[in-house]
Amino acid sequence: MHIFTVIKVNFITLIIGMSFALVIGYAIGYFLRKMFTEYQIKEAEERGKKIIYEADKEVENRLKSAEIEAREKSLVVQAELEKKMKGRQDSLRNLEIDLEGRDRDLKAESHKFQVREKELTEQSSKLADREKGVDQQKSEYQNLVAEELKKLEVIGSYTAEKAREEVKNKIIDEAKMDAAREVKKIEEDTKNRADDEARRLITMAVQRLASDHVAETTVSVVELPSDDIKGRIIGREGRNIRALEQATGIDLIIDDTPGAVVLSGFDPIRREVARRALEQLTLDGRIHPGRIEDVVNKCKKEVTQQITKAGEQAVINVGIDNINPEIVKLLGRLKYRTSYTQNVLEHVQEVAFVCGAIAAELGLNVALAKRAGLLHDIGKAIDHQTDGTHTQLGVDIAKRYNEHPFVVNSIAAHHEDCEAESPYAVLVAAGDTISASRPGARREMLETYVKRMTQLEVIGDSFNGVQKTFAIQAGREVRIIVMPNGIDDQKAGILARDVAKRIEKEVTYPGEIKVTVVRETRYTEFAR
């Protein structure tokens, strides 16, 4: 009994001890867990504060960077605006100068017209006075005839026929003298007015042909792989096309023409640079202002190299030496210059060959003749940049680089602007004519050709009695079929002359145009 009691007591004690230990362990665990949780919370708060600090610092740095970038962009935009404003101011200034010049020209023309009107008025009054004088002289001649007849009849030694013959001869002699005096006076008056009339006619011709000539010589066409590329060439808000026009100095015309862009400008070198740059950009596909500037600079270098090579090759082909490098470059520029679609560089080489061949036959200096022929159109390399005719510009260039006096005179005289001082000038003029008149060397634009052919036929059809008009031989001959019952042979000749006069007045053409009037009458009978 005692043993069980002891065991029971020990068991109870053990249970109580284990319970106490469990309670103490739970309390210790609770406190340890609480301390660990508080530590984690504190550590998380510190990390959160650090993250917030770093985020605030990063935001502050980004705000500073954005502010700096915005200031830089603002400066760039301001610089571009100032550049554009300066360009517009220069354009307005140039336009103002141009308008002032035109105003002066108009005032000068107005003064000329007033003077011309005054001259015509004076001439009209003089003609009226002359007409009165002629009538008076006619009456005097009639009275003189009557008096002479009376005198001769009184004398009686003359028959009436002899008297009339003598009086008639006397009157004819006096009329011839008066006519000679009038003709001489008219010739002198005509010579005095010839220069003014020639200038007027040339001015009128220039005004009539200016649009066709400009369209032919100032425009290049670039073919595009597709019409979709046009939008990329223009760019957003027109940035690309403005960059290309500013870099090349050439106007781009983008219209509804399928697969093509038109380049317009007076400088053929700049047009060639723009054409090459645009072709490379369209093939590459990357079109933006920075790329445009790089491609244009590259094309400028390529064109400059091509110009130098073309000039050197021309000199080699002709076979001359001791020529200034600057003249060689100017010769190379002629590769991109045309005259009635004839390449000027090829033209001057042809002239040089012709001059050399003729000089060899005449026993002259062949090298000097070739040199004069090669350089006779050198002024055309800069005539679009400098005021003056290409002959005067060529003379200035030749003198500047100490060319032979015969070469200088050949340049000045090849269009008869001055008198030829050597046989070489005559050779150059002949060679220039031969090269320009060679069949196929020069041609007109299709539009101009068709317009002239149509105009010739319209002029012929406008006359009464004309059945049909045909313009043949590329517009160098006009054949007019007339109705035989309405126009006889005499009227046919008059019709040919009238048509020719009207063509001379209304049509501009090279060389001459032959007018042929065809009148045919057929009579058919049958023998049965």
pLDDT at 460 over 70: yes
Distance from C-alpha of 340 to C-alpha of 392, rounded to nearest angstrom: 21
Q: Provide the CATH number for the domain formed by 446-518 in this structure.
A: 3.30.300.30
How many other CB atoms sit within 10 Å of the CB of residue 147?
11
Catalogue the E-assigned strands of 260-335: 260-264
Res 138: pLDDT: 67
DSSP 488: -
Nearest of 170, 169, 150 to residue 160 by alpha carbon:
150
**300: pLDDT strictly greater than 80:** yes
Between CA 367 and CA 404 the distance in angstroms is 12
Q: How many CB atoms lie within 10 A of CB 229?
A: 18
pLDDT band at 216 (very low <50, low <70, confident <90, very high): very low
For the segment 246-269, the average pLDDT, to the nearest whole number, is 78
The residues that bridge with 516 in the sheet, in sequence order, are 479
Tally helices (H) and strands (E) across the chain: 14, 8
Q: Average of pLDDT values for 426-444?
A: 72
Predicted pLDDT of residue 479:
92
> Which CATH entry fits the domain spanning 324-437: 1.10.3720.10, 1.10.10.10, 2.30.30.230, 1.10.3210.10?
1.10.3210.10
Mean pLDDT of all residues in 204-233: 59
pLDDT of 239: 83
pLDDT > 70? residue 176: no
Does residue 442 register a pLDDT over 60?
Answer: no
- Taking phi over 0 as left and psi of -120 to 50 as alpha, with beta for the rest, 511 belongs to left
Average pLDDT of the residues in 209-217: 44
Nearest to 155 by CA among 140, 166, 142: 166
Crossing angle of helices 390-400 and 405-413, rounded to 10°: 170
More confident residue, 287 or 509: 287
Q: Is the pLDDT of residue 207 over 50?
A: no
Q: Which residues 6+ apart lie within 8 Å of 20 measured at CB?
A: none
pLDDT of residue 212: 43
Over residues 445-472, the mean pLDDT reads 82
- Asked whether the predicted pLDDT for residue 296 surpasses 80, the reply is yes
**Mean predicted lDDT score pLDDT of the chain:** 78
411 neighbors 379 (Cβ within 8 angstroms): yes
Q: According to the model, what pLDDT value does residue 469 have?
A: 92
Sign of dihedral through CA atoms 309, 311, 312, 316?
Answer: positive
CA–CA gap between residue 372 and residue 351 (Å, rounded): 9
- N residues, the chain: 528
Token pair, residue 258, equals 């399928």
The CATH code that applies to domain 219-308 is: 3.30.1370.10
How much is the pLDDT for 214? 44
pLDDT of residue 167: 65
Q: Which has the higher per-residue pLDDT, 219 or 426?
A: 426
State the pLDDT confidence band at 31, using cuts at 50, 70 and 90.
confident
**Tokens 């049509």, residue?**
507
Q: At residue 308, does pLDDT exceed 70?
A: yes
pLDDT of residue 163: 61
| Range in 59-63, 111-115, 328-332, 408-412 with the lowest mean pLDDT | 111-115
Lowest mean pLDDT among 1-10, 154-163, 396-405: 154-163
